[in-house]
Amino acid sequence: MRPGDIVEEFLKNGRVAIITRGRFAGKKVVIVKVMDDGSKTHPFGHALVTGVERYPLKVTRRMGKQRIAKRSKVKPFIKVINFNHLMPTRYTLEMESLKGVINNDTFKEPSQREEAKKTIKKTFEEKHSAGKNKWFFTPLRF
Average pLDDT over residues 3-24: 79
Flag whether 104 is in a domain. Answer: yes
Each residue's pLDDT tens digit, 48-99: 899 999 999 999 999 999 999 999 999 999 999 998 999 999 998 887 777 7
- How many independent structural domains does the chain possess? 1
How far apart are the two ends of the chain, measured CA to CA in Å?
34
Q: Which residue has the higher pLDDT, 38 or 138?
A: 138
Per the prediction, the chain carries an average pLDDT of: 86
Cβ(121)–Cβ(74) under 8 Å?
A: yes
Q: Give the distance from CA 5 to its chain's centroid.
A: 22
Find, among 129, 126, 56, the residue nearest to 98 by Cα. 126
Flag whether 47 is in a domain. Answer: yes
DSSP state of 99: T
Cβ(72)–Cβ(54) under 8 Å?
A: no
Flag whether 9 is in a domain. Answer: yes
Find, among 101, 115, 103, the residue nearest to 41 by Cα. 103
Flag whether 73 is in a domain. Answer: yes
pLDDT for position 1: 43
- CB-based contacts of 130: which residues, under 8 Å, 6+ apart? none
